[in-house]
Structure formats: structure tokens, C-alpha cells
């Protein structure tokens, strides 16, 4: 797998927050941002795969009040550090 440079212009407040989040995890800002982007990409691909599987099998979403958690409250990345 190759790599490419991506240059970003962000304000100082956001950079300070990113530095704080990265420091809590013992990471560089670059590693923290890349990891966050990878996780978000995985979430999107997982959601698409679930939707395609539901379409294939003809699954209908659970009606409200049946005890199932609403879809937007369940994230595939929950619990992934």
C-alpha cells in the first residue's frame, strides 16, 4: 500500500483539541487523525454492508416500541479503542 501527503489547514482551537485527544492516547496528532479517519471509513463501509444485507434478505426495520434499539443509537465502532 502506498501513501500520499494530505495537507490540512485547521484553526488553532481544533489543533489544540486534537493534540489533547492524541496526547491522552500517547499518539501523535497525525496518527490520531489517521486512526479517526480509518475508523470512520470502517463505520461507513460496515453500515453500507448491513443495509445491503438487509435489502438482500428483505429484512424490515423493527417498528418503534418493540424493544429494539434505534439504528442511529448503535454504532459499529462502539467499544473499539
Cell reading at 54: 438487509
**pLDDT digits over 26-54, tens only?**
999 999 999 999 999 888 999 999 999 88
Would the CA dihedral through 53, 55, 58, 60 be positive or negative? Answer: positive
Break the chain into its structural domains and give their ranges: 30-58
Question: Which is higher by pLDDT, 19 or 64?
Answer: 19
Provide the sign of the torsion angle of the four alpha carbons 40, 44, 45, 50, taken in this order. positive
Distance (Å, whole) CA 27 – CA 31: 6
CA distance 71 to 33: 26
Per-residue confidence (pLDDT) for residue 72, from 0 to 100: 54
pLDDT value at 73 more than 80: no
Helix pair angle (12-24, 29-57), 10° resolution: 80
Amino acid at each position: 500500500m502506498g501513501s500520499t501527503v494530505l495537507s490540512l489547514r485547521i484553526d488553532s482551537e481544533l489543533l489544540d483539541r486534537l493534540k489533547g485527544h492524541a496526547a491522552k492516547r500517547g499518539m501523535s496528532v497525525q496518527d490520531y487523525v489517521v486512526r479517526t479517519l480509518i475508523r470512520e471509513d470502517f463505520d461507513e463501509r460496515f453500515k453500507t454492508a448491513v443495509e445491503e444485507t438487509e435489502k438482500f434478505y428483505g429484512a424490515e426495520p423493527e417498528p418503534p416500541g418493540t424493544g429494539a434499539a434505534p439504528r442511529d443509537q448503535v454504532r459499529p465502532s462502539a467499544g473499539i479503542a
